[in-house]
Chains A and B, each alone.
Chain A
Amino acid sequence: MIELKNVSMFYEDGNPALRNIDLTIEDKEFVFIVGQSGAGKTTLTKLIIAEERVSDGEMYVNGFKMHRLRKRKIPKLRRSIGMMFQDFRLFEDKTVYENLAFAMRVVGARPKEIKQRVPHVLSLVGLAHRAKSYPSKMSGGEKQRVAIARALINNPDVIIADEPTGNVDPEMSKALFELFMRINKLDKTVIVVTHDHNMVNYYNKRVITIADGHIVSDVPAKKEPEAAPAVQEGGTAV
C-alpha cells in the first residue's frame, strides 16, 4: 500500500514540486496519474522509489516509512517496486535475455533462478521468441515490453510506468495498456503516469489528476455490474 499524508516536496532552491498531498493507493489497485508537464507527476513517482525525499509530511510505501527512510534501506524498497520509463533504459549491448538476467543478478539471484524466471516473464509479455534479440533491432513497442518484463522480473508488488506509451504508436499503446491490465490481474499494484487521455478514458480505472503540485481530482473507477463487458468507454472524467 502507498499512503501519503499531507506530503510536500521542495526542490533545493525552495520551489515546491508537490504540496500537501493526501493520497492512498491500495494493494492490487490500478491507478492512472495524469496532468500537464511539470505538474508533479514524475516527482510523485520519484518519491515512491525514494529517488527524491519527502520534505514534509508522512509517506508509507509497502511498509517503508519514506519520511524517515535510511539510505541503506532504499535497495530493499526498490526491490518491491518495478519501474519503467518512456525511454526504456535498456542495455543496447545486451540481449533481451541478458537485460532481464542482469536485473535479477544485481539483486543477488542465482543462475538457476534466472534460468527459470526469465523465460517465464518473457512469455508473459509475449516476447519469448525475442530472447536472443538486441534492443537495437526491436520496435519501440517491443522495447517497452522488454522494459515491462524487466520491471516484473524481480516479482515486485508495485509496477510504476512513467509515460510508457510516449515513444510507441497508438496501436502498440493499446497493446501495452492491455498488458498492464493483465499484470494488474496478477495482483500487482499498477501506477501509470500518462498523457494518453484516450487510453485513460478507455479503461475504467481510478484517475488522479495533478496540477501545480496539488491533486486536483481523484476519480475512482466506476463499479462494474457483474456481467458487464470488461471495458467501458469514457468511464472517467479527466
Chain B
Amino acid sequence: MRLINNFFFHIGQGVKGIFRNPVMSTASLLVLVCCMVVTGTFALIIDNINKNFEALDDVNKMIVWLDEKPEAEDGEVSGDAEESEAPKPQYNVHTQDDKTQKAIKDLEHVTDVVFMSKEEAFEEFVASEGSDAEFLEWFDPEENNPLRASYRITFEAGTDTENIRYIKKAIAEMGFKEENIDENIDLYDSLINVKGALTTIGIWLLAVLFIVSLFIIMNSTRMGLHSRREEIQIMRYVGATNSFVRAPFVIEGIIIGIVSAAIALGIQYYLYAHIISSVVRQYALITIAPFNNYLLFISVAFAAIGIFAGLFGSVISIRKYMKV
C-alpha cells in the first residue's frame, strides 16, 4: 500500500516539476524531439537505400553462357562424347546438365542457379524491349535466335568481391571459358562501398546527435535541479532516502522523454509519409517503403531514446545534489 502511495506521490511530484520549470521542460522536450526526428529521418533514409541496394537486380548475380556447339556436332546429343576417344569432360559446358548445375550451386556463397534456354532468353529480351522492337524484324526465336542459353547464378547479398572472384574461378575450372562468365564485380564493389560509407556516416551521426542531446538534457535537468536545490536539501535533512529524492526528478525526465517520443513520432510520420516520400517519388530516386513498415521500430526506438535520455540525464545530474 505504501509503495502504491509513494508511486502516485512521485508521479504527482514529477508532473508538478515539469510545470514548475516550464521553460526548461519545454527546452528539454524540444531538444529531444529534434534529435529524435533528425536521427529517425537519417535512419529511415539509410534503411531505404540499403533495401534498394538489396533489391537491385543483376548486382549480386552472375551469368554463365553455354558454349555453342561446333557446326559438325549440330543435332547430336551431348552424350555422344562417350563414343569418341577424347577424355570424357567432367562437366557439360554446351547444354543444360543437372550435374553441372548442381556443382555450381554447391559452390560457397551461391544461393541459386537457374538455367535459361535460348528461347527463354529471347522471351526475356522481348519482354524488356517491347513486342514492337526493331530486332523482331530480323530475328526469330526458332530460326535465327542470336541469344545463347545460360546459367543465371545468384549469390548471397553482401558477398565480397574476393568471393565473387573465387566463384568465377571455380566455374572456369569446370570448363567454362572466362569470357563466357559475366559478373558485375566493379559495380558491386562500388555499391558495397557506398552502402558501407552511408552506414558508417549514419552510425556516427546517430552517436553524435545522441550525445549532444544527452548533454543538453543533462544541462536542462541541472538547471531545474539548481532551482530546487533547497527542496532537495530539506528532503535530505528530514531523512528522505536517496531513491525517494531522486524519484520525482527521474519520473519528470521519463515523462519528458515519453512525451518527446510521441511528438517526434507524429512529426516523423508527417515528414516521411508526406515530404520525404513525395520528394523521392517526384525525382524517382529510390523506392520508399511505407511508414507502417517502420512504425513499431520507430515507436520503440523513440520511446527507448526518450526514456533513456530522460532517465540518464536526470540520474547523472542529481548526483551533485545528493551530497548533503
Interface residues in B1-38 (C-beta closer than 8 Å to A): 1-2, 5-6, 9
A75-B234 contact, Cβ under 8 Å, with A51-B324, A105-B9: no
Chain B stretch 228-269: residues in CB contact (< 8 A) with chain A: 230-231, 233-242, 244-245
Q: Is A108 an interface residue (CB 8 A)?
A: yes
In chain B, what residue has the closest Cβ to A91?
A: B231
Q: Is the CB of A108 within 8 A of B230?
A: no
Give 1 or 0 for each of B280-309: 1 = CB within 8 Å of chain A CB.
000000000000000000000000000000
Q: Is the CB of A89 within 8 A of B238?
A: no
- Whether A138 sits at the interface, judged by CB under 8 Å, is no
A111 and B2 alpha carbons, distance in the complex (Å): 10
Q: How far is the CA of A83 from the CA of B239 in the complex (A)?
A: 10
Instruction: Give the secondary structure class of B's interface.
Output: helix
Residues of A within 8 Å of B233, CB to CB, are: 89
B236, B238, B242: which contacts A154 (Cβ < 8 A)?
A: B238
Partner of A75, one of B1, B5, B240: B240
How many of A's residues come within 8 Å of B, CB to CB? 22
Contacts of A137 in B (CB 8 A): none
Kindly state whether residue A206 has any CB partner on chain B within 8 Å: no
User: Which residue in chain B gives the minimum CB-CB distance to A85?
Assistant: B237
List A contacts of B5 (CB < 8 A): 110-111
Point out the residues of chain A lying under 8 angstroms from B9, CB to CB.
105
Q: A108-B2, A108-B6, A110-B5 are in contact. Are A76 and B239 (CB under 8 A)?
A: yes
Q: List residues of A (99-120) whose CB comes within 8 Å of B's CBs.
A: 103, 105-108, 110-111
Q: Looking across the interface, which residue of chain A has its beta carbon closest to that of B241?
A: A75
Residue of B6, B234, B235, B324 with most chain A CB atoms under a 10 A cut-off: B234
The yes or no answer to A67 lying at the interface (CB within 8 A) is: no
Known: A49-B237, A78-B237, A78-B238. A106 touches B230 (CB 8 A): no
For A105, the chain B residues whose CB sits under 8 A away are 9
Number of interface residues of B (CB under 8 A): 20
Complex Cα spacing A150 to B233, Å: 14
Whole-angstrom distance between the Cβ of A136 and the nearest chain B Cβ: 14
Contacts of A79 in B (CB 8 A): 238-239
Interfacial chain B residues near A154, Cβ < 8 Å: 238-239
Contacts of A49 in B (CB 8 A): 237
Contacts of B240 in A (CB 8 A): 75, 106-107
Q: Which residues does chain B contribute within 8 Å of A89, judged by CB atoms? A: 230, 233-234, 237
Report chain B residues within 8 Å CB of A76.
239
Asked whether B2 lies within 8 Å of A107 as measured between CB atoms, the reply is no
User: What are the residues of chain B within 8 A of A150 when measuring CB–CB?
Assistant: 238
Contact yes or no, A108 B234, CB < 8 A: no
Given A51-B324, A75-B240, A89-B230, do A106 and B235 touch, yes or no (CB 8 Å)?
Answer: yes
In the bound assembly, the distance between CA atoms of A111 and B4 in angstroms comes to: 12
B237–A83 contact, CB under 8 A? Answer: yes
Residue among A89, A106, A111, A150 with the most chain B CB within 10 A? Answer: A106
CB distance from B63 to the nearest CB of A (A): 71
**Which A69-108 residues have C-beta < 8 A from chain B?**
71-72, 75-79, 83, 89, 91, 103, 105-108
Residues on B with C-beta less than 8 A from A91 are 231, 234
Q: Closest chain B residue to A150 by CB distance?
A: B238
Chain A residue at smallest Cβ distance from B322? A71
- Whether the pair B234, A78 counts as a contact (CB closer than 8 A) is no
Question: Is A106 touching B324 in the complex (CB atoms < 8 A)?
Answer: no
The docked-state distance in angstroms from the alpha carbon of A89 to that of B232 is 11
Q: Which chain B positions have C-beta within 8 A of A51?
A: 324
B68 to chain A, nearest CB (A): 86
Q: Are A107 and B230 in contact (CB under 8 A)?
A: no
CA distance A49 to B235 in the complex (A): 13
Query: A38 to nearest B CB, angstroms?
Result: 21
User: From A71, which residue of chain B is reached at the shortest CB distance?
Assistant: B242
Pair B2/A110 contact, Cβ less than 8 Å:
yes
Q: From residue B319, how far is it (CB to closest CB) to chain A in Å?
A: 12
CA separation between A111 and B240, bound complex, in Å? 16
Q: How many Å lie between the Cα of A91 and that of B238 in the bound state?
A: 14
Bound form: Cα–Cα A75–B242 in Å: 8
- Report B-chain residues with C-beta under 8 Å of the C-beta of A111: 5
> Please, could you name 8 A-B residue pairs with CB atoms under 8 Å apart, sorted by A?
A71-B242, A75-B240, A75-B242, A79-B238, A89-B237, A106-B238, A108-B244, A110-B2
Given A83-B238, A108-B6, 9 more pairs with CB closer than 8 A:
A72-B242, A75-B240, A79-B238, A79-B239, A89-B230, A89-B237, A107-B238, A107-B239, A154-B239
